[in-house]
Amino acid sequence: MGQKRAVLVGINYPGTDGELKGCLNDVARMRRCLVDRFGFDEGGIRVLADADPSTPPPTGANIRRELERLVAGPRAGDTLFFHYSGHGLQPGLPAETGDDDDTGYDECIVPCDLNLIKDQDFTELVAKVPDGCLFTMVSDSCHSGGLIDKTKEQIGNSTKQNKKNQQHRAGDTKPPSASGTCTCSCSSLLRIIRGAVESLGVHLPCHGRRHGHKQSTQTGGKETDAKTEAEPSTIASATTTSSRSLPLPTFIEMLRDKTGRHDVGVGSIRTTLFHHFGHDASPKVKRFVKVMVGRLRHDGKLDGEEAEQSHALRAALDQDVQSVEEVYAGAAAAARAGLPRNGVLISGCQTDETSADATTPDGVSYGALSNAIQTVLAGSKRGAAAATNRELVVRARELLAKQGYTQQPGLYCSDEHDKLPFIC
């Protein structure tokens, strides 16, 4: 019998413009389910939840640290499980390199400190899981389809939707700013990078006359998470809902408040994350900064020796970058890490959908997907065969549709794991 270990993350973002209600309850219910139904030992479950001082805060660094521990040294027969309830970023983190081919989005989850964890991070984690061991991930968040990149889509249309979006973007002569894509030129982007590098305490020589650059930002009023999945009267027991999608303008405002940098815009999110979090930033963010620093050095706008000696830049310069293209938004991690064949993702919705955060009339809050999973599991007869991953997602979809929700959960895994029992 192999070991069973889990990491459960619930983030309600209290006191922020992105506040949710049901994420901590999701985690508490899943924790009881793992112990009572699936035989997990209490000591094998790590919980990170905001507004709960008994657990470590669910910061980006803490979540990555726990996930690294989860995939460190598992053996054949071990069961690894990760449940996330919180925000996904809408529509994802946009392109920022300024290259014509960089037109995608990085799908992300949003830790309590806004230190984003990207789909590529999950792909690289799951790729470390050895054969004979399975990593199951439930992401009750918006735009969560495909968070483990390059894993086969068994149920859903996110892959088809992504291809359609890519074809549409490829046909555009200029990325639409309304979608959050950076429209600045390469030279303008380098000025942004230059400012970010200088803010790290690295002196850059002045080459010619410097002109002020106004960064591209999205304004026009702060968006909220008030969008509902359906009319409240159509959802079971007049339950009220909000979205677990954090709009990009709202994220930028929260990032400005978090970092104290009021010049943060669409074209400088990654450099801001690196400046604020350094070594604790996403590996893809650090690789992005390394590529941008390389451009500054190539153009003679940054002294190479000074860059090498900069402690502030060390976290980026130490990264292994195999190609410029791998730092593009939406770039797959498969070439770097290998195909993540030992992972199962159950997503709350498709990449172009939102997941609901629901509250009943008597004040009980939960994520719609998390509640559906618990309902399906609770309805299984004792002694009956456990629902397979496919059966669980199909039944959850049917239940959510009956309750009036429009979100459609997805399943991403190999053909073999499609037929295995949930949390086998």
Q: List the domain range (segments joined by +) for residue 291.
A: 180-327
Residues 322 and 364 reside in one and the same domain: no
Confidence (pLDDT) at 16: 94
What the block records as the tokens of 46 is 């790590």
Amino acid in the structure at residue 287 = R
Residue 423, domain member (yes or no):
no
Residues 117 and 191 reside in one and the same domain: no
Residue 99, domain member (yes or no):
no
Residue 282, domain member (yes or no):
yes
Residue 100, domain member (yes or no):
no
Rounded-to-integer distance, Cα 244 and Cα 141, Å: 6
Confidence (pLDDT) at 193: 57
- What is the Cα 110 distance to its own chain's centre? 6
Confidence (pLDDT) at 46: 97
- Out of 281, 310, 327, pick the residue that ends a domain: 327
Residue 96, domain member (yes or no):
no
> Of 260, 261, 249, which is closest to residue 220 (Cα–Cα)?
249
Residues 79 and 58 reside in one and the same domain: yes
Q: Is 142 a catalytic residue?
A: yes
Residues 203 and 339 reside in one and the same domain: no
- Out of 327, 362, 393, pick the residue that ends a domain: 327
Residues 163 and 245 reside in one and the same domain: no
> Of 13, 111, 121, which is closest to residue 60 (Cα–Cα)?
111
Strand-pair partners of 249 = none
Residue 108, domain member (yes or no):
no
Residues 165 and 246 reside in one and the same domain: no
> Of 296, 278, 294, which is closest to residue 327 (Cα–Cα)?
294
Residues 70 and 122 reside in one and the same domain: yes
Residues 316 and 377 reside in one and the same domain: no
Three-class DSSP category at 240: strand
Split into its structural domains, the chain has a count of 2
Q: For Cα atoms 61, 80, 344, give the angle at the middle one, nearest 5 degrees.
A: 95
Q: Is 87 a catalytic residue?
A: yes
Residue 57, domain member (yes or no):
yes
CB contact at 8 A, 376 and 396: yes
Task: Give, for all 424 residues of the chain, the pLDDT tens digit.
Answer: 689 999 999 999 999 999 999 999 999 999 999 999 999 999 999 999 998 889 999 999 999 999 999 999 888 899 999 999 999 998 889 999 889 888 888 999 999 999 999 998 999 999 899 889 999 999 999 988 878 777 789 998 876 655 555 444 444 433 333 333 444 444 445 555 555 555 555 545 444 433 333 333 222 323 223 233 333 334 555 678 999 999 999 999 999 999 999 999 988 999 999 999 999 999 999 999 999 998 887 776 666 666 666 788 889 999 999 889 989 988 765 555 566 789 999 999 998 899 999 999 989 999 999 999 999 999 876 555 789 999 999 999 999 999 999 999 999 999 999 999 999 7
Per annotation, catalytic residue among 23, 83, 87, 133: 87
Residues 307 and 234 reside in one and the same domain: yes
Confidence (pLDDT) at 184: 43
Residues 161 and 66 reside in one and the same domain: yes
- Out of 327, 356, 377, pick the residue that ends a domain: 327
> Of 119, 139, 19, 121, which is closest to residue 64 (Cα–Cα)?
121
Rounded-to-integer distance, Cα 37 and Cα 321, Å: 44
Per annotation, catalytic residue among 133, 142, 184, 413: 142
Whole-prediction pTM value?
0.83
Residue with tokens 């996930």: 67
Residue 209, domain member (yes or no):
yes
Rounded-to-integer distance, Cα 19 and Cα 60, Å: 18
Residues 169 and 232 reside in one and the same domain: no
Can you give the CATH number for the domain in which 369 is found? 3.40.50.12660
Note the helical H segments in 240-354.
248-259, 269-277, 283-298, 304-309, 314-317, 334-337
Residues 21 and 169 reside in one and the same domain: yes
